[in-house]
Amino acid sequence: MGVVHSFSIRRCTVDDAATMASLGARLFAESYGETHPEPELSRYLSRSFSVDGIREAIADCGVTMLIVEDPGGSAIAYAYLRSSAEPPSGVAGERAFEIVRFYVDGVAQGRGVGAALMKECFKDAKNRGADVVWLQVWKEAPWAVGFYAWMGFSVVGSAPFYFGDQVGDDHIMAKSLR
């Protein structure tokens, strides 16, 4: 794919469901495949990144999915953001939004793609009335925890992440939009 010098960010439509499902599964597997073994990895990817499930999420009025594309139109990153009626303990705010998924292809990391995408998440959430955004991130992913801290998130709690027989210990991180 090469070096990313320019990119565009846009809101997904239901027509993007297959692209989003493929991108999401690929980036999850690249990020966590070594630590999340088969056969559970394939089961998780099938459940979490089905085209129908992604299409349904995109169509939900409480959800925003953003896709980042390089100048050739190839998908290089995405974010999945939704209204969160019952955020976890530690997330302080009147109207919370959760960043459910946030992934940037390795070739695009460190090139401003993630920061620009996160700023779009903040903008979208704020435009929809949010005063806080939160996310869950694996404690053993220091690159991700560091990026979120750099973007202004703070650790406010913890939560389990169930992956087959494995139970991960995740941070809950939040950022005020006030």
- Please write the tens of the pLDDT for every residue from 105-130: 877 887 899 999 999 999 999 999 99
Q: Which residue has the tokens 């990144």?
A: 49
pLDDT of residue 47: 83
Residue segments in the chain with a per-residue pLDDT below the cut of 70: 1-5, 33, 35-37, 162-166
HEC string of the chain equals: CCCCCCCEEEECCHHHHHHHHHHHHHHHHHHHCCCCCCCHHHHHHHHHCCHHHHHHHHHCCCEEEEEEECCCCCEEEEEEEEEECCCCCCCCCCCEEEEEEEEECHHHCCCCHHHHHHHHHHHHHHHCCCCEEEEEEECCCHHHHHHHHHCCCEEEEEEEEEECCEEEEEEEEEEECC
pTM: 0.88
Give the tokens for residue 45: 């990817």
What is the per-residue pLDDT for 18?
96
Q: What is the pLDDT of residue 163?
A: 67
pLDDT of residue 35: 65
Residues 6 or more apart from 41 whose CB is under 8 A from it? 29, 32, 33
pLDDT at site 46: 79
pLDDT of 173 reads 98
Q: What is the pLDDT of residue 103?
A: 92
| Residues found in the chain | 178
- Of the candidates 59, 54, 70, the one whose C-alpha atom is nearest the C-alpha of residue 19 is 54
Domains of the chain: 8-176 (3.40.630.30)
Report the amino acid identity of residue 75: A
The pLDDT, as a whole number, for residue 2 is 45
pLDDT score of 177: 97
**Strands 132-138 and 96-104, sheet pairing:** parallel
pLDDT of residue 92: 94
Per-residue pLDDT at 5: 62
